Structure 1
Amino acid sequence: MATLDSREVAVVAGLGGWLPPRVVDNSELSRRLDTTDEWIRSRTGIGRRHVVDPGMSTVDMAVEAGRRALSSAGSTGADAVVLATSTPDQVCPASAPQVASRLGLGGAAAFDVNAVCSGFVYALATAAGLISAGASREVLLVGADAFSTLVDPEDRGTVPIFGDGAGAVVLRAGHPGEAGALGPFDLHSDGELADLLVVPAGGSRKRMSDEPGDYYLSMRGPAVFRHATARMAESSRAVLERAGWTVGDVDRFVGHQANVRILQTVAKQLGLPVDSLVLNIEHTGNTSAASIPLALADAATDGTLHAGDRVLISAFGAGLTWGSTVLRWPAVTPG
């Protein structure tokens, strides 16, 4: 009979990210919206963001990030593809099979996970479950969103915040003691607060609407800020306890890149030093499910993350959804 220590777990083996070429900086937004660079930076920490051009889609971005992650891992082919997104190319079918096909992984299991800005953490748990159950040996997990397509182009409350992009990891079967092995997970939701961040129309409840604004994201910012900081801090404490870590054990905190003030507040509530934060929001904006893998890829590239670092990951998003996990960072070079 297998012992607990001999069970297989998901291990990070590859990493990649991709941003669309078009850059929209704060000065460009200031010319067409009632806002300024100082106003945006002081409230969000964002200076610019990348957005898709007409004709470019979530699948296009996911393929680019996935290709880089597979190259980073030296992979010859994953047997499952999980796409975390809330902006699929179509309502039906799921977009992951198209990603798999374009990457030469036709025949692999492929499906979408929609937990919005928590999507990458939820998908990590899902992919880890495939591996621990023996259903997969290697999983390509991509977080990708074209959130610029969901915001009202005239809304200064949402346009400056969101950007588009994709980030990906390759997970392989391994053992709990390895660097890169994903630790325990802590996942939660609260559907009673779904109206805090919502696109009212387009789904089965309200397929069509005479109000154009119903097709754009509605966000109650102050309430989101309160819940995001509280939930991410609670979840982080819970997952640290499950992992047997103390706050002092954490070398790097990689949170969903929604707002620099949210991340700073969570770090303060946890008692983490501000310099433990991994931040790339200044040049990406909030890329929803792509934000954490993009932040990991940037940090691994610029030397912020080192092999052996103990990393805490936490996210919060619409739904409401939130969750956290931990790992000891492996020696991986982004593709």
Structure 2
Amino acid sequence: MNTLSHARIRGTGFYVPERILTNADLEKIVETSDEWITTRTGIKERHIVAKGQAASDLALEAAKAALADAGLAPEDLTHLIVSTVTPDSFTPACSCILQHKLGISGRVAMDMNAACSGFLYGLEQVRAIIALKPESVVLLVGAEVLTSRTNWEDRATCVLFGDGAGAVVVTGSADAADSGRILDTLLYSDGAGADLLMITGGASSEPYAMGHVVGPSHFIRMQGQDVFKLAVRSMESVSREILERNGLSIDDVALLIPHQANNRIIEAVGKKLGLSGERVYVNVDRYGNTSAASVPIALAEARASGRLPAGSLALLTAFGGGFTWGAALVRF
């Protein structure tokens, strides 16, 4: 009988497109300024795809990096999950396209849409797969081309978003002391706030028709102040709850890795949790909001930069459209 029982992050990786769009560049596109953007969001630049570059292309590079970090090959994978709101196509799934680009076939592949909480929702699915089939080797990728759904005439939203992908490779482990053990995940959702952050154009509620002109509904629409308040409240609450139910306190957390939506949100969550600045990971200034890719990009960077030494506890939390929110605890 196989005794593997714990889901363990074996490798992490990320990829962002080469092209950088700075606040100075945005000043030429829309009525805004570097000072306005920086003061309200903390964002200085974001990466955007080249023409013809799709979510699966970003996912591929992040997947390769995570596999290399884990010391594994694509052939070792049994499952592929891609969390995204901007897949290459409605069908086939981005995960199927990614599988083909990795040169493998016959694996389980599926996409997941939980917006900015997508990576955390994916982690719970990965834990379930490992519990059911402990021999599994699962690739989880958060990949987004949010600039494909950005209204460049809306200065309130176009300054926020960037493109990128982050990935983890997760396997089972019989040793509770192994680095990267996913201790717990905790997820929530509430559709009552759906109209505060949405993209409806082209979906079944607002289908395409020949000759229709693409309008604002085809792009991200957000009530920023309302989302801000809910994001702070929800991420603080779920972070406290997951720590409490695991018999841990905020003092046990080595590093908080929150969704990188807005530096003011990140600062507010850290402050409410009582975490000093050096215990909160921030890269929103360089990448902007990359939705489902945000947390895995930050996690990969944090590991690569030595911010998660052996024995450290990482608290991951996110909030996104749906609304969805959640948290995860990982012991490195």
Q: How many residues align?
A: 326
Gaps of 5+ in 2: none
After superposition, give the CA deviation of every residue in 1:252-309 in whole Å (9 maximum; x if it has no partner): 0000000111111111111122221011111111111111111112122222222221
Verify the 8 A CA contact 2:142 2:296 in the aligned structure 1: yes
The structural deviation recorded for 1:7 is 5.9
Change (3 A) 1:169 1:181: same
Q: CA deviation at 1:136?
A: 5.3
Write the distance in 2 (CA, Å) between the matches of 1:123 and 1:194. 21
Q: Give % identity.
A: 40
Q: Which residue of 1 aligns with 2:197?
A: 197
- 17, 20, 33: which one pairs with 1:20? 17
**1:115-264 mapped onto 2 (5 Å cutoff):** 115-134=114-133, 137-175=136-174, 176-208=176-208, 210=213, 212-264=215-267
Task: Compute the displacement of 1:151 (Å).
Answer: 1.0
Separation of aligned partners in 1, 2:214 and 2:285: 33
2:252, 2:313 within 8 Å by CA — same for their partners in 1?
yes
Aligned to 1:86: 85
Where 1:230 maps in the other structure, the secondary structure is helix
Distance 2:111 2:135 in 1: 16
Contact 2:29 2:152 in 1 (8 A): no
CA positional deviation for 1:177: 3.7
Deviation at 1:31, TM superposition (A): 1.9
Gaps of at least 5 residues in structure 1 are 330-335
How far off is 1:210 after superposition?
A: 4.8
For 2:87, what is the secondary structure of its paired residue? coil
Q: Structure 1 counterpart of 2:129, which letter? A: L
SS at match of 2:28: helix
> Matched residues in 2 for 1:151 and 1:174: separation?
41
- SS class of match (1:82): strand
Instruction: Say whether the 8 Å CA contact 1:165–1:290 is kept in structure 2.
Output: yes
Q: Secondary structure at the match of 2:225?
A: helix
Paired residues of 1:84 and 1:119 also in contact (CA < 8 A):
yes
Q: Residues 257 and 287 of structure 1 are in contact (CA less than 8 Å); yes or no, is this contact kept in structure 2?
A: yes
The equivalent residue for 1:332 is: none
Deviations 1:197-221 (A, max 9, x none): 1012111111126561110111000
Amino acid in structure 2 at the alignment position of 1:260: N
Structure 1 runs of 4+ aligned residues shifted over 6 Å read none
**Given that residues 5 and 134 in structure 2 are in contact (C-alpha distance below 8 angstroms), is that contact kept between their aligned partners in structure 1?**
no
- In 1, are the aligned partners of 2:11 and 2:67 still within 8 Å (CA)? yes
1:135 CA displacement: 6.7
SS at match of 1:283: helix
Aligned position for 1:65: 62
Counterpart for residue 39 of structure 1: 36
CA distance in 2, matches of 1:133, 1:250: 29
Kept in 2: contact 1:315–1:323 (CA 8 A): yes
Alignment match, 1:287: 290
> Structure 1 136/322 Cα, relative in aligned 2: closer, same or farther at 3 Å?
farther
The structural deviation recorded for 1:222 is 0.1
- Other structure's SS at 2:156 match: coil
Partner of 1:333: none
TM-score by length of 2: 0.95
In structure 1, distance between residues paired with 2:6 and 2:77:
16
Amino acid of the structure 2 residue aligned with 1:31: K
Verify the 8 A CA contact 1:79 1:105 in the aligned structure 2.
no
SS in 1 for 2:314: strand
